[in-house]
Amino acid sequence: MRDKTGARELAAALAVSRIFAEAASLPDEYHTYGMQRFTVIVLSFALTAVLFMSLYFVTKRTGGRLFGAVSGNGALTGFLGALFSLYLLYSAAETGLRAHYYTSGTIFDAAPSEYFYLFIGAALLFAVHKGIRPTVRAAVVTAGLFALFMLVISLALIPDIDLDRLYPSPVDDPDSLPAQVLRETARNCELPVLAVLGGSAGGKNGRTFAAYAAVSCLVLLLMTFLGTTVFGELVSRLDLPFYSLSSTADIRVLHRINGIDVMLWVMAAIIRLALISLAFRETAAACFARGKSADIAALIFAAVSVGLSELFTVYPALFTPVQRLSAACLPLIAAAVIIPPLTLIGKRRKHS
């Protein structure tokens, strides 16, 4: 692994990436905010931890790299790499689409989506070109700013918090709970990303996962707490829940701080896209390409993912079926359940 970073820094980057997935609810995403939302978040991270187990045991043997053992195994390597790359491509395209949906609902208004993707794409290509170390360090700074911003928002919202809106019912609608948990779990594309990039952080995947999952879960719970206690039932109809919170927070000096909120979310989106693209670079380096060609492949992947986001933006009908598949958590389960045993098989073949 030519580009190394720290486990704590990678955990912070993954947390920023994961939290971005909560920035906006896409049109077809169904969320029940309220007390059940807390249960959904906790259960989804519990399920994520279960899914992580198989990845953990495989990557533990290969220095934190999912494809560390199977490189050079011909057809099997190609198949695994292609499967994994497809998942990454979907995750990247969905991230781009979510970022566009978020910005067009806030600061980007009715500006043509081409401009948005052009800018995002340029920043993304720069980050991918620079590598994992600068990207992760930038994510640490973003995480710090985000924490500071959360603190300011939370303090500013204290007068608006109505604790009577919390009620002792962890499950409001048992029928919809499994679907919601799966949908929430499906947002953890950081899990496969960690399985590939973990080698860059010294292979401490268990520690990295624990830190990223704990921080993400706590932040999401805090956001849900604020949303529920400030907006009450209204929160179930919010497309941009955190933007709505920051818009509500009336800081005497800054007055309108939702502009800063948007800046942080856009940066988080680029970090998520960059991490996914860098995960593809490692996948490509192990499965398809060697040396510089993996770097070029990662740049092409980043450009293609942004292009795909634009396609999904222009033709939403193309995205809907893919999104339904993803909402059932199938791609993530495939990445976490199918690929690890195959890598072990590939490793045995290689040694035999």
Residue numbers of the site for another protein (CB under 8 A)?
5-6, 8-9, 12, 103, 107-108, 115-116, 119-120, 122-123, 126-127, 130-131, 133-135, 137-138, 140-142, 144, 255-256, 258-259, 262-263, 266-267, 270
Provide the CA 44 distance to its chain's centre, in angstroms: 14
Amino acid in position 10: L
Alpha carbon distance 169, 136 (integer Å): 39
Give min distance, CB of 266 to another protein, in A.
Answer: 4
Torsions phi, psi of 68, nearest 5?
-60, -30
Give the helix/strand (H/E) hosting 100.
Answer: helix 74-104
Q: Which is nearer to another protein, 256 or 348 (CB)?
A: 256
Give min distance, CB of 109 to another protein, in A.
Answer: 8
Q: Which is nearer to another protein, 126 or 288 (CB)?
A: 126
DSSP letter for 158, please: G
Q: Are the CB atoms for 47 and 185 separated by under 8 Å?
A: yes
Q: Which is nearer to another protein, 181 or 249 (CB)?
A: 249
C-alpha dist (Å) from residue 197 to 1, 211, 234: 9, 15, 39
Give min distance, CB of 134 to another protein, in A.
Answer: 4
Amino acid in position 269: A
- The encoded tokens of residue 245 equal 């919170």
Alpha carbon distance 6, 26 (integer Å): 33
Q: Which is nearer to another protein, 11 or 308 (CB)?
A: 11
Q: Which is nearer to another protein, 19 or 41 (CB)?
A: 19
Give min distance, CB of 8 to another protein, in A.
Answer: 7
Give min distance, CB of 260 to another protein, in A.
Answer: 9
